[in-house]
Chains A and B, each alone.
Chain A
């Protein structure tokens, strides 16, 4: 039996630098995971030993990095086919897939073990489930099989707030799951907007993203549907007693702006097959044709929206802010 090998893997590779191993951990995704987990921790309002809080954040970061390395090890074949990912360390041949796998396993085991021993086992269990869901359910099972890959798999990216909450309090109440729900419903419009202007890459790699399978028009309307669910859900923490007036303002204005941009996208032709470029002109990786700009705007706005929501919660729950008396929850749910 022969195994197809991607050409990129066969190229003579330069020696791996330490930065290549760091890149396996997807530092930018890790920073978003740490940010939402930190918000979950702070929202509990419970004092936590600062050293153990730092250890919990480190474990969450290491768990996110470990699951990213596992993803990179398994997906090297399709990463080699996409312009956005072909220069990653494994498909470029600088790091062996087995090394990435080993790094992912070690980081995952150590992050869960230390979280359990140093913080609590509820947080460790939720962290283990998050890693398992990303590395096994999303990467191994869903990603190559269904256009719902990022919808279901998005749960892995949505769980860090509840991991942080459990680390700080030892509990996982409904408030924490409300934050999870916000990230969960945010994921499809965010990633589908991106995939609307990178459809060709996904199609070439055989990844069944929604625009590849159902077409651009269906994807645009589904982005609008998810945005219509996300906007009121984003406001909900203000009425659950989790967010104060600043959160209410940010989530209401941000949600409205996102829905307006999603309507504009639904009515656009973003993602539809574009006419060929003039002879001699090549399209860059992040070049966005005029027709696809509404998709790019939803992608950028959704990122800003999520950041603003969690930043507002974080700010309102800092002791300094609370001492100014500006963070009084609206309290309808408490």
Chain B
């Protein structure tokens, strides 16, 4: 396994970009599930 300290600046920048994309995707997924839950529950909770 290569030592991450050996990374060039370009490789480190690329890694930060990938991590940021992954973070955005994860937060977006959580937000989507939250919003879907609210929409699907809306109006049905009082019925119970």
Contacts and interface: CB of A to CB of B under 8 A. Distances in A.
B32 interface: yes
A18 B20 contact: yes
A52 B39 contact: yes
B21 A18 contact: yes
Is chain B's interface secondary structure helix, strand, loop, or mixed overall?
Answer: helix
Interface string A11-27: 00011111101100000
B35 to A, nearest CB: 6
Nearest to A51: B39
Contacts of B30: none
A21 B18 contact: yes
Interface string B12-32: 001101101100000001001
Is the contact region of chain A dominated by helix, strand, or loop, or is it mixed? helix
Interface residues of B, number: 15
Contacts of B18: 16-18, 21
B48 interface: no
Interface residues of A, number: 17
A205 to B, nearest CB: 29
Contact of B21 (A14, A21, A58, A117): A21
Residue of A16, A17, A22, A117 with most partner-chain B CB within 10 A: A17
Contacts of B10: 14-15
A58 B25 CA distance: 13
Contacts of A16: 14, 18
A118 B36 contact: yes
Given A18-B14, A49-B39, A52-B39, 12 more contacts: A15-B15, A16-B14, A18-B21, A22-B21, A55-B32, A55-B36, A58-B32, A110-B29, A114-B32, A118-B36, A118-B39, A118-B40
